[in-house]
Structure 1
Amino acid sequence: MTAPDPFTPARLGPLTLRNRLIKCATFEGATPDALVTDDLIEFHREVAAGGVAMSTVAYCAVAPEGRTDRHQIWLRDEAMPGLRRLTDAIHSEGALAAAQLGHAGPVANSVSNRKKALGPSHIPAPMGMSVTRKLDADGITAMLATFRRAARIAVDSGFDGLEIHCGHNYLISCFLSPMLNRRHDGYGGSLVNRARFAREVVEAVRDEVGDKVAVWAKLNMFDGVGTPGPGHGGQLTGFNIDEACAVAQLLESDGHLDAIEPTAGSSLLNPMYLFHGEAPRDEFADAFHGAMRMGLKAIGPMFLKHYPYHDAYLLPLARQLRAAVRMPLILLGGITDRTSMELALSEGFDFVAMGRALLREPDLPLRIQADPSATSRCVHCNLCMPTIYSHTRCPIRAGEVPDPLAAAHT
């Protein structure tokens, strides 16, 4: 295929985006009271001014117990005035605003949240050094209503798009995982049963918001446990690409989504599979205190594994998903220059999502548009990862002298 120009307008469901570049959801660490702050607004305004078509706000939890800690926004009436200021600021820069809707499930910190973590089964919730409470049938029904209400609050706060988090072994992703979902009812066992909760959440959100808002799912392709393909030797492995393709086909057949954003890795089991690049084990441990810090120091090499970085590093897995469905896909992972953008678009991906590169240079899209040979200054050190517990930022950028040429672009 001939790659479309990444800087020309494109349709995502009911929306027209000014280009094919999306700021992906990366927790901003700027909401100490679980409400929008001026820092959060400026974080996304700067990215919007830098040239992306849409900026995704993360992490918008659908319930208070669904946060990785109590400082994250959860969608309730009290949050709406701040969310409206946030979406207005993004819109003022000519970009659209998306909210990532999710529930952290076993990744939630029950100690910080002061609420029990939830899961499809009784499984470890290491952030709170506890075990999850299993969602029963009534709990699942209530959770669908919770997603509905969160979606309504987001749309009424001015968001143009909703990303449903079905990745990283958060709650929906755990239901998909044969390793973490140990149920024996209609939500466990076969892949169709394990995918039921995800499909019902997507249907509930779409039914609530109608067809005026774009809705897509961030879907795990592989959680980094075992092998990306089918399990070997009868061993139970995590979610893999073959199952991801089958789930994507189910979601496509349901007809409620405008796109899928393939992702990979597990915040519960193997977070570095999403990021690739250096593994900042000491810095990550130092972001915690007490037993958690000591534990991370001890298991750092096992938990924070090293995966070499290369541009478009999720493309090999995502190609299989591209072949499995016809619906639009958003490629995430190692999109840093025009070459990687055009590679993704030439292989049939409709949009690209950028994360760490925009922490280093929020105006990178404008630089690339002005100069196709421009490259990212991100060195993939991943030192930004531990900053999510204080204020998400690129530590290297924070120590740099401002570039007058970069400032001129904004």
Structure 2
Amino acid sequence: MNTQPNVFTPAKLGPVTLRNRIIKAATFEASSPNALVTDDLITYHRLPAAGGVGMTTVAYLAVSQGGRTEGNVIWWRPEAMPGLKKLTEAIHAEGAAISAQIGHAGPVANARSTKATAYAPVRFFNPLSMRFAKKATREDINDIIGAHANAARMAIEAGFDAVEIHLGHNYFASSFLSPLINRRDDEFGGSLENRAKVARGMVMAVRRAVEKEGTPIAVTAKLTMADGVRGGIPLEESLQTAKWLEEDGGLDALELTAGSSLVNPMYLFRGDAPVKEFAGAFKPPLRWGIRMTGKKFLRSYPYREAFLLRDAKLFRAELKMPLILLGGITNRETMDLAMAEGFDFVAMGRALLAEPDLINRIKDDGDAHSIRSLCTHCNKCMATIYSHTHCVVTGSPG
């Protein structure tokens, strides 16, 4: 008897029921010039909601001013709440759920742009801001963990159905998990058990905050399986971290990702490396530096469908909690493959950026399986996150 779920049937994500198993992955929208919700940001998420996804994920809602990647990113504060409530209402009106990705950028934060202190496991130089991130003290770590709990409470107040805790891409929690970055010799450094304390602390702080509020909201996390960097986060350690997160019982699902925003972003964005376009997003002398050294930073990895599946299957074999497969999900066959391999949800990014109505078109296609994404995996959309995120092939979403 075939027990493989149909990707288009309703599914439980913790206490929340989604109309299907397809999630719009967090992709920075560059639609909040004053660090507040705009009509443009609402449209960005309303289009894939109207286009059939079960849930769309807002990225990136920082837990503090200094936790932002750059100055236009929204952070949780009273001034942002009216716009966030308007955003959730618009998505619910389309029949979809909405998740808030919450996190702290850590050493990825551009302190020059955010006008706030950036934190890392150790003093760390960020070439984009040309400034050093400060070594986080125990008090700083506790404050950042507490800010995650506060963000979850505000997400509930704003009407979100879920929060996604960012534990990947060498953001704050992930930088502690990285042996390459985390050179501490205290209780947060050395062994993996010590390096995982920040990530585990964040998740449990959010879980306790959600339970105290008494409002049904799902808690998920995004975890890097491997960052593709020598001396960085290895697959084996990430799997152990995932096992601890499962044992802690703080998560309703785990989304598996890869790469590092600091040193190897293309390990997640497989396909062409847009060095020229990326350099063009910055002013000299940084532009010149990227043009000269960009191929070392933006390494090219060939694209294939479900390109993270091989590693993700190792997690599926060891974990019981619901898992969300990300990476190279563009058509019905790949969605069905994810379901057959035991994954509970799929997350899509670039394909939905190119075609926000792709899910409805695939669903309407039925068993024909003839619909193919217009995304060419050129990755030129990566450079648009510094202006206004859109697909350069189709022009979508604006």
Within-5 A mapping of 1:313-352: 313-352=307-346
User: Deviations along 1:348-367, whole A, 9 cap, x unmatched?
Assistant: 10000000000110000001
- Measure, in 2, the Cα distance between the counterparts of 1:340 and 1:320: 18
> What letter corresponds to residue 26 of structure 1 in structure 2?
T
Matched with 1:31 is 32
Other-structure match for 1:231: none
Aligned to 2:204, what secondary structure does the other structure show? helix
Alignment of 1:9-408 (within 5 A): 9-210=10-211, 212-226=216-230, 237-371=231-365, 372-398=369-395
Q: Is the 8 A contact 1:59 1:73 kept in 2?
A: yes
What is the CA-CA distance between 1:399 and the residue it aligns to? 8.7
Deviations 1:91-128 (A, max 9, x none): 00000010000111111111111122110111222221
Secondary structure in structure 1 of the residue aligned to 2:60: strand
Query: 1:222-253 CA distances to partner (integer Å, 9 max, x unpaired)?
Result: 11102xxxxxxxxxx10011001100000000
| Preserved contact between residue 390 and residue 396 of structure 2 (Cα < 8 Å) | no
* Structure 1 gap segments, 5+ residues each: 227-236, 403-410
Percent of residue pairs identical = 56
CA shift, 1:159, in A, is 0.5
Q: For 2:128, what is the secondary structure of its paired residue?
A: helix
Deviation at 1:345, TM superposition (A): 0.8
**2:14 touches 2:218 (CA, 8 Å); kept in 1?**
yes
358-367 vs 286-295, which deviates more? 286-295
Deviation at 1:66, TM superposition (A): 1.3
Give the residue type in structure 2 aligned to 1:168: H
Kindly indicate whether the alpha-carbon contact (under 8 Å) linking 2:354 and 2:396 is maintained by their aligned counterparts in 1.
no
- Give per-residue Cα distances to partners, 1:45-95, cap 9 Å, x unaligned: 111000000000001011111111100111111100000000000000000
Kept in 2: contact 1:61–1:101 (CA 8 A): yes
Aligned mates of 1:323, 1:134 — CA distance in 2: 37
Maintained 8 Å contact 1:13/1:258: yes
Preserved contact between residue 355 and residue 396 of structure 2 (Cα < 8 Å): no
Q: CA shift at 1:2, angstroms? A: 5.0
Paired residue secondary structure (1:16): strand
Dislocated runs of 4+, deviation >6 Å: none
Residues of 2 paired with 1:342 and 1:127: CA distance? 40
Secondary structure in structure 2 of the residue aligned to 1:327: coil
Instruction: Summarize deviations over 1:2-50 as a string: whole Å, max 9, x none.
Output: 5311100011110111000000000000000000000000110111000
Compute the displacement of 1:150 (Å).
1.3
Find the residue that maps to 2:223 and give its secondary structure: strand
- Name the Cα RMSD after superposition: 1.3
Residues 332-379 of structure 1: CA deviation (Å, up to 9, x unaligned)? 000000000011110010000000000110000001101132111111
Please tell me the residue identity of whatever aligns with 1:225.
V
Secondary structure of 1:198's partner? helix
CA contact (8 A) 1:160 1:214 kept: yes
Q: Alignment partner of 2:268: what SS?
A: helix
Report the 3-state secondary structure (helix = DSSP H, G, I; strand = E; otherwise coil) of the residue aligned with 1:147: helix
**Which AA in structure 1 matches 2:237?**
E
Tell me, yes or no, if the aligned pair for 2:145 and 2:201 is still in contact at 8 Å: yes
1:203 and 1:221 map into 2 onto residues whose CA distance is 20
Equivalent-residue separation in structure 1 for 2:337 and 2:241 (angstroms): 25
Aligned residue pairs, count: 391
